[in-house]
Amino acid sequence: MKATVTVMLRPGVLDPQGRAIAQALHALGFTGVAEVRAGKVIELDLDEADPTRARAQAEEMARRLLANTVIESFRVEIG
């Protein structure tokens, strides 16, 4: 079963990378871009056929390692 963990900086945590991307997009003429937030996507290939258990495992991995919940939030998608 495949799990996709998306990790983003929490709202309120300064995201200088996102801000730099926004500035570069403005420079390219994409003036309609208001705010950009940059995060990361981690794909897990799990040895688990049950979606509920797979989700629970991926969430535990995210809490313990993949995300630092002091500064980041995460979202898990299964399948």
Rounded-to-integer distance, Cα 2 and Cα 7, Å: 16
Binds other proteins by CB under 8 A, chosen from 66, 74, 76, 78: 66
Stretch that binds other proteins, among 27-35, 45-53, 54-62, 66-74 (CB under 8 A): 66-74
Q: Which residues in 6-17 are b (16+ Cβ under 10 Å) and which e?
A: bbbbeeeeebee
Binds other proteins by CB under 8 A, chosen from 16, 29, 32, 79: 16
Beta-bridged to residue 32, according to DSSP, are none
Q: Is 13 in the site for other proteins (CB under 8 A)?
A: yes
Stretch that binds other proteins, among 11-19, 24-32, 48-56 (CB under 8 A): 11-19
Rounded-to-integer distance, Cα 60 and Cα 71, Å: 17
The residues of the shown chain that bind other proteins, judged by CB under 8 A, are: 13-14, 16-17, 20, 65-66, 68, 70-71
